[in-house]
Amino acid sequence: MEGNGKAEGAIEMFEAQAHIYKHACNYVNSMVLATAIQLNIPDIIHTHGKPITIPNLVSALKLPPHKSNAIFRIMRLLTHNGFFDSTKLNEEEDGYVLTASSRLLLKSQIPNLSPFALFAVDPVMLAPWMVLGDWFSRNEESSAFETAHGAPMWEFCDTNSRFNNVFNEGMASDSQMMRLIVKDCEQAFEGVRTLVDVGGGTGMIAKLILEAFPRLKCTVLDLPHVVAKQTECENLGFLGGDMFHSIPSADAIMFRHIMHDWSDEECVKILKKGREAIMANKNDGVKKGKVIIIDMVLGAEEDNERDVTEMKLIFDVLMMVLVTGKERTEKEYENLFTQSGFTHHKITPIFGLTSLIEVFP
């Protein structure tokens, strides 16, 4: 029989093996989640209205009975991962119900994060990871995305309508989460009459802000192919343009999930354009304009939660692989603001992964 030291050493090694295998095979979790969304499992359970058994789920899915074991196995994994709960209905059958996570995947509800979850595993998104090791030894491409697809991500979106739609739907679904906290950001919009949402895509965030603050007049600035078919209304307009060239003047310029897409040098260029836009604003009702940034801040207060910290670090590497950007600490943001001519800023962590940053000239 081995001594305690050797037994403890073996236990540690097998725990390390499980840790390695878990992360090496984590793609299984992503793909099974996407499969559940594609099969409409969360909505089927929601419509059922009570705990659903595997036979009832298979029937609702219109699958042949011999697929029952396969459905059971993916439901077992998804339940382990917190997407469903199971309850004992009798000695032989469990019933499955939704959790907070799967309720956010309901296609009939808002917010609905299903488009983002499917966007994350789109073949276009997965291809750069297959060449990431090669990208490190290459000098020609700015990102692994460009290595995989022959063009930077924004150029690729411009020429690939299918992926452009997948991307915009994914971003719009993520933006829906702002509905939960937009009214908590009231102080950031106090005294603001005009707002430009830079890189605002299909206008989801602008619409949510206008629902909460209907006195505002908002313009969404994005690339021409993004805003070309968007519907305007009395206090919401769309403008095709390039934030590196010019930004319309307004009381406030907002960048949501924009800064993390770009390098420090590119962010300084964007911020300088934002500063020019608020300094050029002639609205006498606002003494000084501001730039509003909604983005992740590494090391913010909520980072004591392991899942939040890990997700921010994942997004940091994701930005490196897809584009030229990164997630930043408060000090890194402060350096950008100073280089761009701003004098002070205020960071307010909001629920989840993001913080609200107000930047003043």
Catalytic residues: 260
* Residues contacting 187, CB < 8 A, separation 6+: none
* Pair of tokens at residue 132: 């990431």
Vertex 248: Cα angle to 328 and 359 (nearest 5): 35
For residue 361, whether the previous peptide bond is cis, meaning omega lies within 30 degrees of 0, is: no
Tokens 């994350």 locate to: 120
Q: Reduced to 3 states, what is the DSSP secondary structure of residue 244? A: coil
Q: State the pairing for strand pair 290-298/354-360.
A: antiparallel
Query: Residue 311: which residues within 8 A CB-CB, separation 6 or more?
Result: 353
Residue type, 216: L
Taking the C-alpha atoms of residue 58 and residue 5, their distance in angstroms, rounded to an integer, is 50
SS3 248: coil
Helices (H), strands (E): how many in the chain? 18, 10
Say how far apart CA 2 and CA 196 lie, in whole Å: 69
Name the token pair of 169: 């739907």
Q: Which residues, including other chains, have CB under 8 Å from residue 223's CB and lie 6 or more apart? A: 154, 158, 240, 241, 242
Q: Kindly report the length of the chain.
A: 361
Locate tokens 């000695």: which residue? 91
DSSP E strands in the chain: the ranges are 84-88, 94-98, 194-198, 217-222, 236-240, 252-256, 290-298, 328-329, 344-349, 354-360
Residue 227 has which token pair? 């805003």
- Please give the distance of CA 123 from its chain centroid, rounded to a whole number: 18
